[in-house]
Amino acid sequence: MTFPRRQAAIAGVYRTKQGKLPDRTGFSLQLEAIKGAIAEAGMQLSDIDGLLTLPFSNHHDAQAGATDTHQFWAEQLGGHPIDYISVGGSAGQIAKAASAISSGLCEVAVLFYGRAGQFLGPRGTVSTGRAPRVPEWSWSVQGAYMVPFYALWAQRYMHEFGVTSEDLAEVAVIDRYHATLNPESVMGRKGEITVDDVVNSRMIAEPMHLLDCSLDNDGGYAVVVTTAERARDGAKKPVYVLGGAEAVHTDLYLTQDGDWFPEGGRSVRRAADRAFEQAGVTRDDIDYFGSYDCFTITAVRNYEEMGFCALGEGADFVKAGHTRLGGKLPTNTDGGLLSGSHCGDPSGLFVVETVRQLRGECGDRQVADAKIGLAHQQGYAVHGLSSSVILGVD
């Protein structure tokens, strides 16, 4: 069965304010985002019959299951039945929504997310008052979390491929430059940074400096996916779903395979290859790339695992200027996770920016004549989970 290419399209997107938002709640951000995206699509809340939820979209403290999440939101959206539900990464969910819409499972699906007042890492970890305080498989036993885990990855990568901290810093420099062109970014107002700024910033977990690490802030977003026909009747240029896929591997911050850099890649490469096959396009056709850059090492590895350069060549690919606005693969023109926003689960922000680029709405950071874009998401460790969606306009 082939992917329903161009049978579904994104008709509306919305991005709330991003940053430290002490007067907001996760629920208020989520509701604002849903209403904003639906309004941009020229629809009503009652039109929604599909929900694509992400973590923290449930507001019942006593119940945290996916079904309860959808029941809660069915009530918020007017009490009408929700015919299609899906849980997963944003790029993969957009692809699944396109399949559901083309097969008649639903007609208007909304991806949404919002977070406020919650922290990543040790600050957000709840511990019990007596031992054992963590499960036996928990990374907390070793005192680890995202930064130490990715730092180990970076150390091994630098050792194997002769990459330096200065090489990795180039990613953060480009992201910050792009952020200065995006008035909605968290860090753009602080101005550009240099490689020296990155390597002289505070060490978090060697070799990851402060500016090698993503932000941790509040914010929300939403994306409306519907039939191609209905999107064409909307107020905005329809952005068609050409292909998409998701994949998982074993890590989940719990285990690590012996080979950290397999030639064929793992979940990131598998999801990307399937998405390209479904979309019927090549890497050379991509005009804009939204790359999940939670750390500088992640961004470098993404170019390799996504198939834009060979293993060990990611840092040189960045240093050559290919990922900068005006390069052959402009990436993260909103500032990415390093300088744009990281609102807990920021995966949908890459979809929002890709849609805006393909519509030609990005002002000073606009990629010239962008027709095909790729939004990518990964997480739960270096190989754990990934999804890709390829979008296009006429």
What is the C-alpha to C-alpha distance for residues 88 and 100, in angstroms, rounded to an integer?
A: 15
Q: Tokens 């083309």: give the residue.
A: 102
Between CA 232 and CA 211 the distance in angstroms is 42
Residue 349 class from Cβ within 10 Å (0-12 exposed, 13-18 middle, 19+ buried)?
buried
Range in 79-83, 176-180, 235-239, 382-386 the model is least confident about: 382-386
Residue 370 lies in a domain: yes
Q: Say if CB 53 and CB 87 are below 8 A apart.
A: yes
Beta bridge partners of 110: 51, 224
Q: Which two tokens stand for residue 368?
A: 């010239």
Instruction: Indicate if 314 and 180 belong to the same structural domain.
Output: yes
Query: What pLDDT score does 118 carry?
Result: 65
133 lies in a domain? no
Angle between helices 90-102 and 347-359 (to 10 degrees): 60
* Per-residue model confidence (pLDDT) at position 241: 98
* Whether the Cβ atoms of residue 186 and residue 340 lie closer than 8 Å to each other: yes
**How far is CA 341 from each of CA 85, 322, 327, rounded to the nearest angstrom?**
27, 22, 23
Q: Which two tokens stand for residue 264?
A: 């064929």
Domain final position from 204, 239, 274:
239
Quick check: 77 and 48 in contact, CB under 8 A?
yes
Shared domain for 113 and 78, answered yes or no, is: yes
Output the pLDDT for position 63.
45
Determine the average pLDDT of the residues in 352-363. Answer: 98
List the one residue out of 345, 355, 333 whose CA is nearest residue 18: 345
User: DSSP code of 383?
Assistant: S
| Dihedral, CA of residue 229, residue 231, residue 236 and residue 239, to nearest 10 | -100
Confidence of residue 62 (pLDDT cuts 50, 70, 90): very low
Q: Side chain identity at 174, as an amino acid letter?
A: I
Asked if residue 125 lies in contact with residue 381, where contact means CB atoms within 8 angstroms, the answer is: no
Residue 130 located in a structural domain = no
Report, in angstroms and rounded to the nearest whole number, the Rg of the chain calculated over CA atoms: 20
Summarised one tens digit per residue, pLDDT across range 248-307 is 887 666 666 668 888 888 889 999 999 999 999 999 999 999 999 999 999 999 999 999
* 98 pLDDT higher than 90: yes
The answer as to whether 134 is a domain residue is no
Residue whose C-alpha is closest to residue 223's, from 393, 37, 20: 37
Q: How far apart are CA 188 and CA 359, in angstroms?
A: 22
127 pLDDT more than 60: no
**Unique residue bearing structure tokens 């390069």:** 327
Q: Are residues 226 and 249 in the same domain?
A: no
User: Which has the higher per-residue pLDDT, 370 or 344?
Assistant: 370
The answer on 167 and 80 residing in a single domain is: no
Model pLDDT, residue 358: 98
Instruction: Tell me: pLDDT of 341 over 80.
Output: yes
Task: Tell me if 2 is assigned to some domain.
Answer: no
CATH of the domain at 95: 3.40.47.10
Q: CB–CB of 316/275 below 8 Å? A: no
Residues 324 and 194 in one domain: yes
Residue 38 lies in a domain: yes
Distance between CA atoms of 103 and 109, rounded to whole angstroms? 13
Structural domain containing residue 315: 146-215+242-392
Q: How many domains does the chain have?
A: 2
Q: Is residue 127 part of a domain?
A: no
**Predicted local confidence at residue 79, as pLDDT:** 86
Task: Give the pLDDT confidence score for residue 313 in this predicted structure.
Answer: 98
- 148 — pLDDT class (breaks 50, 70, 90): confident
- Among 21, 303, 39, smallest CA distance to 171 is for 303
Instruction: For the chain, report the end-to-end CA distance as a whole number of angstroms.
Output: 24
292 and 232 housed in the same domain: no
Indicate if 336 and 356 belong to the same structural domain.
Answer: yes
In whole angstroms, what separates CA 66 from the centre of its chain? 20
* Residue 132 reports pLDDT greater than 50: yes
**Residues 208 and 154: beta-carbon distance below 8 Å:** yes
Alpha-carbon distance of 18 to 38, in angstroms, equals: 19
57 and 168 assigned to the same domain:
no
Identify the pLDDT of residue 263: 85
Mean pLDDT, residues 175-196: 98
- pLDDT above 70 as % of the chain: 87
Q: What is the pLDDT, as a whole number, of residue 203? A: 97
* 156 located within any domain: yes
Same domain (yes/no): 261, 116: no
How far is 101 from 226, CA to CA, in rounded Å? 7
Is 191 found in the same domain as 204?
Answer: yes
375 neighbors 348 (Cβ within 8 angstroms) = no
Please report, rounded to a whole number, the percentage of residues in the chain having pLDDT higher than 90.
72
In angstroms, the CA 375 to CA 354 distance is: 7
Query: Hey, which bits of 103-212 come out as E strands?
Result: 108-115, 203-205, 208-209
Q: Is residue 231 domain-shared with residue 282, that is, in the same domain?
A: no
| 98 shares its domain with 114 | yes
Q: Which helix (H) or strand (E) holds 202?
A: none
Last residue in a domain, options 206, 239, 272: 239
CA pair distance 35, 45, nearest whole angstrom: 7
